[in-house]
Structure 1
Amino acid sequence: MAAPPEPCFPFEPRLVRQRKRRARRGFAEAAFLHARVAADLADRLEAIPRRFERALALGGGGLFTEELRKRPELAGRIGAVIEADVAGGAVELDPECLPFAPQTFDLIVSPLALHWVNDLPGAFIQLRQALKPDGLLLASMFGGDTLTELRIALIEAESALLGGAGPRVAPFASLQDVAGLLQRTGFALPAADRDFVTVRYGEPMRLLADLRAMGETAALRQRSPHGLSRRILARAFEIYRERYADAEGRVRATFEIVTATGWAPHESQQQPLKPGSARMRLADALGAEERSAGEKAGKP
């Protein structure tokens, strides 16, 4: 009997952990995007007038906790915070296999961690189960338009030099994917939005240096059979400068940040009306004449 095919997962968890651990030394200096996301998640929480007794910060290298220290009023509304990450923190864990009992947390925030998860639906289900009823999930991750410029430059350079191109930049979920996943995995009041951040560099190599320092280089399971040679990289940088340089010679790098918001279901939450339960017809509300589906416009 033939062996079953291996799952078509894009990421190699061993490489994700390895690169996150390697990035610990330079993370603080290069993690400007992670700091931005931690601040954004804190802003969103400040607009929610309630207390969260127990919280989990999944990913982010401790930056969410640092952000709370800058905001005493918000910190006063959040009790114990457990820092967890794939490569460190108070708890080291695999986001696809959470070690927490059901209904453990009132709040889960995840700054830029879940985009490296292979089974994102499974991770969302586990996160919902780890929340107490009416608990809140706020999770930000890189979206599908992240590093579009680098992706195009590498593909064109490798195709021109070798006659074909392999994967070099990680594939990430789109806004529509994340919004749909929140609904499919049982979150109440689901919402997803996105923000585009453009970073400018004097040289494309500086972008790669920042990605390494953040632990955000592609940890792909199926990598190109050809190594990223100096020749390919030099041609990719030429294409990058030709296509994406501004008037001052700096090149841009686009990061799409998708933020998912969802609540663990609870009876106190606003519920959609059942079909047929409306007390007023739509035609009456609009002051219009109601017609049957088979009646043509203008027919007496």
Structure 2
Amino acid sequence: MASGAAAAARRVLLLRHRNRGHQNLLPAQHFSSAAAADGLDGGDGGGRVKIFDRDLKRRHRDRAAWAMRETDALADAVADNLLDRLEDCRKAFPSALCLGGSAGAVRRLIRGRGGIEKLTMMDMSAEMVKKWRELDNAAGDGLETHFIVGDEEFLPIKESSQDLVMSCLGLHWTNDLPGAMIQCRLALKPDGLFLASILGGDTLKELRIACTIAQMEREGGISPRMSPLAQVRDAGNLLSRAGFALPGVDVDRYTVKYNSALEIVEHLRAMGETNALFQRSPILKRDTALATAAIYQSMFGLEDGTIPATFQVIYMTGWREHSSQQKAKQRGSATVSFSDIRKQFGSDQD
């Protein structure tokens, strides 16, 4: 990571506002953007529309492998919060799979949580996997760790082989998020746990506003500069569509302070989080970029000269179905009516 982004990463403000609610898989494949520049799949998905260019995202991950710092305060905060959920579980998870995104932070912060004995780390970027392997060799903490190159859209993992599947800031780049989550469920053993964190729709809202205004002023219209992200209300539906039992959703909001809009872009590049839309505009005019930075500073600048950036993180929890799990009672099976409860405990209005 560039020095400016490194300084910004150290200034993460953990202002978390939580709203807590409660067969074999397809072989590894690679989607070619050259064969589908119009945003349609390469013949393996029945002509479904593709939103993200996975080849471009792989190159972003390759670049992030050498640009990333060994620690990133934002990624570490999200990974640590994700792993905290393992401490709420009474059972152990001997075998675990961690997918893409900030899996390096997850590996570094496990510290015995979840009773994990064997960890498999997977990423679509061979360079990122190489980087993780180097860091793991330097760690020397004794955790059995394996590394594979694979795409979250086509998990090369056997069915019912994992006790735990985790993804930290990675799945929001998949074209078929429900399909990827279904594959995660199939990879789990019965009563296995799925944990994931994805960026939510309020992420970088300040940058979106500034960029939109700058484009309207300088170009007379707008083009997609930032990727679409899931909304909080969609998370529960995603878990249900993927067939997970006992779904749960949490939302955290992190605020990071940067010296400039350029530092934000540098940090996003180091995280592998830059735009990968098929329908993106390939060129950002210099005057539009300068206008974006000026508008950002004018609208959102703080008294100390820094600018804040919001990262909304949605945490999802789900289990593969098992007979030992609690199940909802059938409709009509209640033995006590609400009127009886009201009579027993009284009413505030009586």
Shift of 1:29: 5.1
Aligned to 2:321: 265
In 2, distance between residues paired with 1:30 and 1:209?
15
Shift of 1:28: 2.1
Q: For residue 102 of structure 1, what is the amino acid of its counterpart?
A: E
How many corresponding residue pairs? Answer: 280
Shift of 1:249: 1.6
In 2, distance between residues paired with 1:216 and 1:120?
17
Aligned to 2:90: 49
1:64 is matched with which residue: 106, 109, 121?
A: 106
| Mapped contact 2:193–2:317 kept (Cα < 8 A) | yes
Please give the residue correspondences for 1:1-300 in structure 2 after superposition, counting only pairs within 5 Å: 6=40, 7-28=48-69, 31-59=72-100, 60-68=102-110, 71-72=111-112, 74=113, 77-87=115-125, 88-89=128-129, 90-224=147-281, 227-287=283-343
| Change over 3 Å in CA distance of 1:5–1:255 after alignment to 2 | closer
| Mapped contact 1:112–1:140 kept (Cα < 8 A) | yes
In 1, distance between residues paired with 2:103 and 2:166?
12
> How far does the alpha carbon of each residue in 1:77-97 deviate from its partner, in whole angstroms, 9 at most, with x for none?
112110111214311111011
**What TM-score comes out, normalization by structure 2 length?**
0.77
Structure 2 unaligned residues grouped into runs of 5+: 1-37, 41-47, 130-146, 345-350
Q: For residue 219 of structure 2, what is the amino acid of its counterpart?
A: L
In 2, distance between residues paired with 1:35 and 1:233?
29
Please identify runs of 4+ aligned residues in structure 1 that moved more than 3 A: 4-8
Q: For residue 152 of structure 1, what is the amino acid of its counterpart?
A: I
| Change over 3 Å in CA distance of 1:5–1:245 after alignment to 2 | closer
**What TM-score comes out, normalization by structure 1 length?**
0.89
In 1, distance between residues paired with 2:74 and 2:236?
22
Structure 1 unaligned residues grouped into runs of 5+: 289-300
In 2, distance between residues paired with 1:5 and 1:257?
27
Structure with max Cα Rg: 1
In 2, distance between residues paired with 1:156 and 1:52?
48
In 2, distance between residues paired with 1:5 and 1:27?
29
In 1, distance between residues paired with 2:270 and 2:321?
38
Q: Tell me how large the CA RMSD over aligned residues is.
A: 1.7
In 2, distance between residues paired with 1:58 and 1:121?
15
Percent pairwise identity: 41
Q: For residue 80 of structure 2, what is the amino acid of its counterpart?
A: A
SS in 2 for 1:149: helix
Q: For residue 123 of structure 2, what is the amino acid of its counterpart?
A: D
In 2, distance between residues paired with 1:19 and 1:33?
18
| Mapped contact 1:244–1:252 kept (Cα < 8 A) | yes
Q: For residue 322 of structure 2, what is the amino acid of its counterpart?
A: H
Shift of 1:214: 1.2
Aligned to 2:137: none
